[in-house]
Amino acid sequence: MTPTPELSGAEVCVIIPAAGSGTRLGEPVPKAFVDVGGRTILERCVDNIPASLGATVVVVVPADLVERASALLTGVRVVAGGAHRSDSVRAGIAAAGHAGILLVHDAARPLTPARVFTDVVAAIRAGHQAVVPAVPVVDTLKQVEPGPAGLERVTRTVDREELRAVQTPQGFTRDALLRAHADDAGIATDDAGLVETCGIDVHLVPGDPLAMKITTPWDLRIVRDMVGGR
């Protein structure tokens, strides 16, 4: 892959969509504002971005929490998000200035190691338009359909060797992410999915178990235990 000369020195902006309610967590505040070991999940996400990237950071939060987030975080731009994740990402893109490399990183992944950020950026600088961290799938996966008496019926076993679970930060050239969001039909659960529908190749770098996403109370417990044990 030939490095793209204009990207070798391009600025990096990390957009953190944190405007979800996170109701599956069962906490009284939106997920990004939940406390983990004395600091919010959102603060931990921002702190994990390696300073070596020299990145600007845009954090997207619910409109009524813009003031709260601005008080919690220093050196980041805070903007209001929208009803869907992709609306929030678009609000982040609008606040990202002219950075040539855009990373989108879920606020739900507060333990993501610095290495994952630097690998994603290095692969974009090397000439890829879209780069996503991913890990192998360890469970056997079944495709199912509704069955009698509320029990789903298995229709086939999926070959897990061909599958990867993708994480964030997901990295894109500015052009790729703008194209993806210009065509957004609102169906993808991640930005790479939107990029794929534009016909742009998405490449993978190794993810990390620590980049796990907090979705359920169980995930929150695991992350709290890990932070406590550090």
Site residues, ligand C5P (CB under 6 A)? 17-20, 31-32, 60, 81-85, 88, 106-108, 215
Residue 82 vs residues 183, 189, 216: alpha-carbon distances, Å: 17, 15, 22
For the CB of residue 70, give the shortest distance to ligand C5P in the complex, in Å.
16
CA 29, 34, 35, 39 torsion-angle sign:
negative
For the CB of residue 32, give the shortest distance to ligand C5P in the complex, in Å.
6
User: In terms of Cα–Cα distance, which of 22, 201, 36 is closest to 111?
Assistant: 36
Q: Which is nearer to ligand C5P, 34 or 53 (CB)?
A: 34
Beta bridge partners of 102: 13, 172
Q: Which is nearer to ligand C5P, 88 or 173 (CB)?
A: 88
For the CB of residue 215, give the shortest distance to ligand C5P in the complex, in Å.
6
For the CB of residue 183, give the shortest distance to ligand C5P in the complex, in Å.
19
For the CB of residue 41, give the shortest distance to ligand C5P in the complex, in Å.
9
Q: Which is nearer to ligand C5P, 10 or 19 (CB)?
A: 19
Q: Which is nearer to ligand C5P, 155 or 215 (CB)?
A: 215
Q: Which is nearer to ligand C5P, 81 or 100 (CB)?
A: 81
* Dist CA 230 CA 227 (whole Å): 5
Identify the DSSP state of 147: -
* Dist CA 152 CA 52 (whole Å): 49
Are 46 and 57 a contacting pair, CB within 8 Å?
yes
Q: Which is nearer to ligand C5P, 83 or 151 (CB)?
A: 83
Q: Which residues, other chains included, contact 195 with Cβ-Cβ below 8 Å and sequence gap of 6+? A: 129, 130, 172, 176, 177, 179, 180, 202
| Three-state SS at 53 | helix
For the CB of residue 64, give the shortest distance to ligand C5P in the complex, in Å.
13
Phi-psi region of 14 (alpha: psi -120 to 50; beta: other; left: phi over 0): beta
Cis peptide bond prior to 169, omega within 30° of 0:
yes
